[in-house]
Amino acid sequence: MPTVLITEPIAECAIESLKNKGYRVAFEYEENGPNYSTEDVIAVINRLHPINKEWMSQYPNLKIISYHGVGYDGIDLETAKSRDICVTITPGQNSLGVAEYTIALILALSKQLTSVTEDYKTKGYSSKYDHTSSEITGKTLGLVGLGNIGMRVANIALNGFSMKVLAYDPFIKKAPERIELVDDRNVIFKEADFISLHLSLNDKTYHSIGDKEFEAMKSSAFVVNCSRGAIVDQKALIRALKNGRISGAGLDVTDPEKCETDDPLLHMDNVIVSPHIAGSSNESLERVANMCVDNIEKFFEGGDLSGKRIV
């Protein structure tokens, strides 16, 4: 029976939709091991599970990898291309969730929200006098990357908090009104009070934020990353945080992807770390999963995809 393999949990509505369309749905993460024939797998819905040549070799009849999101850096595109396996993504479907989460991190950092609440639990009401906070209204937000998510963050910052917004994106020649597009990325790091990263991970962006960039930042500035962990040189970030070179960081992603419990980042009062959940609002998860299903259906029907085809 034609089988769609799901590598990690997705919205239940999409699973029901697949079943209603006549597909068998299998789950690679089931505790009792696989209960499906690998030869029946014709499509995969994948989130963050690495998909390399060896993994794909298990599924001789695989025709499409419907990626649950837009950051497809974990997929071996060359192997997919050589096997004529279609790879699709779901642009725009989780952008709002990630943008809101980015702003939430900015607010939490400026208000010292996590350290205040933790101190209240252990020290009691007297912790009131141990913390101060700062406002973000009127401050400068620097965006590295002005795609779908970056634009949403900019709009919230502009319209919700009257922030000054600087943006660097070599692929954009003109920015909307009130967003100042800069040609030199260093301007972002020198002038911004909050720097938010919205980049795809590739050979050029890997560890593209490191010692040089942190040295250029204001000591009062914060960096926020809801894109990919490996864009930041994590050792350089830890050095900057320990040395007081920057005030703090809000990270939804780390390098490696799974942050070990003894990682220094998890034990710093001025750092907020979450396990790559910025795009995991209920609404975003449903939109993304439904587009994954739609991409599979349209692919086998020969119609135009709702999402974007990479291979």
Residues annotated catalytic, as ranges:
228, 257, 276
Q: Are 3 and 24 in contact (CB under 8 A)?
A: yes
Q: Are 247 and 270 in contact (CB under 8 A)?
A: yes
Q: Are 98 and 69 in contact (CB under 8 A)?
A: no
Cβ count within 10 A of residue 244: 9
> Mutual orientation of helices 148-161 and 95-110 as an angle, nearest 10°?
50
Structure tokens given for 76 = 């071996």
Q: Counting beta carbons within 10 angstroms of the beta carbon of residue 284, is it exposed (0 to 12), middle (13 to 18) or buried (19 or more)?
A: buried
CA–CA dist 141, 194 (Å, integer)? 5
Q: Which residue bears the tokens 């209204």?
A: 137
Alpha carbons within 13 A on the beta-carbon side of 216: 17
